[in-house]
Amino acid sequence: ITDEESGYNKNLFCIPKHYEEDLETVFIPHGLILDRTERLARDIMQDMGSHHIVALCVLKGGYKFFADLLDHIKALNQNGDESVPITVDFVIIKSHC
């Protein structure tokens, strides 16, 4: 996305009422994010080959993306020629100012 990108009109999307006043435009539609997440899963599976995958999720903000990414990886793993072992774990990171 370039700095000059104006985004999409928010009226083209179903925006929850509690966000309507805070949102001016939509820069990246949800479908595009899902498509890119699926492509990332394909890239991971291709790069890892038959190696064991260790997936680590940083909790609070990353869980939804992590879950979507793992869903795509699992689907590719089930439909591929080989099954790759996947280990999933979670961490909480605290920052101290």
Task: Return the domain boundaries, the chain.
Answer: 8-92
Distance CA 41, CA 24 (A): 31
Q: What is the pLDDT of residue 75?
A: 93
Q: What is the pLDDT of residue 97?
A: 65
All residue ranges of the chain with pLDDT < 70 are: 1, 96-97
The yes or no reply on domain 8-92 and CATH 3.40.50.300 is no
Q: What is the pLDDT of residue 5?
A: 80
Q: How many CB atoms lie within 10 A of CB 75?
A: 13
Q: Give the global pTM.
A: 0.73
Q: What is the pLDDT of residue 61?
A: 77
Distance CA 54, CA 25 (A): 37
Coil, strand, or helix at residue 54?
A: strand
